[in-house]
Copies of this chain bind each other. A is one copy, B any other.
Amino acid sequence: MKLATLKTAARDGRLAVVNRELTRARSVPEIAPTLQAALDGWALIEPRLAQAYRELNGGECESEPFDPRQAAAPLPRAYQWLDGSAYLSHVERVRKARGADMPKRLYDDPLMYQGASDVMLGGCDPIMAASEDWGVDFEAEVGVITDDVPYGISADQAASHIKLIVLINDISLRHLIPDELAKGFGFLHGKPASAFSPVAVTPDELNDAWCDSKLHLPLTVHWNGRLFGRANAGADMQFDFARLIAHAAKTRKLAAGTIIGSGTVSNDDPVAGYSCIVEKRVVETIETGAASTEFLRFGDRVRIEMLDSKGLSVFGAIDQEVRPCR
């Protein structure tokens, strides 16, 4: 099943099912007005959404054209956004970039931060920044959305709480991060609003590509139309999503609609390219003594997408332009 939130005057938009090819949408106010409302009662609502999805794909109901530019984030505001760092080649490279060491425990104990969830960007919304000097970077990620997760759940039990999967651009302001992390309380200024794929999909929609709580497909990243990365999200993921959920729930329950990100998708082999600029800069520095790739400029575009084995866009593309805030 594929779901989107269409932009309306309301803060939470309007829930719609979207067909497999991402060309037609059907609003479902009779089932649930918003995605959060659907997640709040998922066990009862999911079968009805699935039925509407089957009818849409079969051409058995009214529908409207689906325009990804009219899609808000699946949850335009969410009650929780936690981002892991499951790909350790990313963690190693980024820490090297800011001169931080790589403690051994990070191979067993996931890094995860609590992100801002009050404003989530749609896939085609601009990246607003007050200054290019902040070092604007993208981070292409996979994320999951859960239903209610009990306190202290095990990783084995956590997998069944993954209800939807999305792509994420976890926008980062690189030059603000080192000082901020040095203060010891995590990210605040360095991680402004994140952007989400136009469509969220259920695990069954991914067939064999969803296995062991990982998504085994390449995540393509284009920067100003040029391929920048094509790392496989199923490879080199040290902590699968079930493990990340269990980590998050160690001392508390998680409410329905919790979004958990994988962290920047990254493969050990640099031939896959990169899902963020800073990794490329680190490799350049190692190879040539200096980074030659600059961070994003106003007017730059970044496009993040995942195609299935038949070449079909699974989630629609995150496709954003960087714009000055004022």
Interface residues of A (CB under 8 A from B): 11, 40, 77-80, 82, 85, 100, 103, 105-106, 109, 111-119, 128-130, 134, 151-152, 173, 176, 181-190, 192-193, 247-248, 250-255, 257-258, 325-326
Contacts and interface: CB of A to CB of B under 8 A. Distances in A.
B79 A192 contact: no
Contacts of A100: 184
B189 A77 contact: no
Given A130-B251, A251-B176, A183 B118 contact: no
A226 to B, nearest CB: 27
A207 B292 CA distance: 58
B255 A114 contact: no
Contacts of A184: 100, 111, 181, 184, 186
Contacts of A115: 114
Contact of A116 (B105, B182, B183, B252): B252
B185 A111 contact: yes
Contacts of A118: 79-80, 254-255, 257-258
A254 B117 CA distance: 10
CB-based closest 7 A-B pairs: A186-B186, A118-B255, A80-B118, A79-B118, A113-B185, A192-B252, A114-B114
B79 A251 contact: no
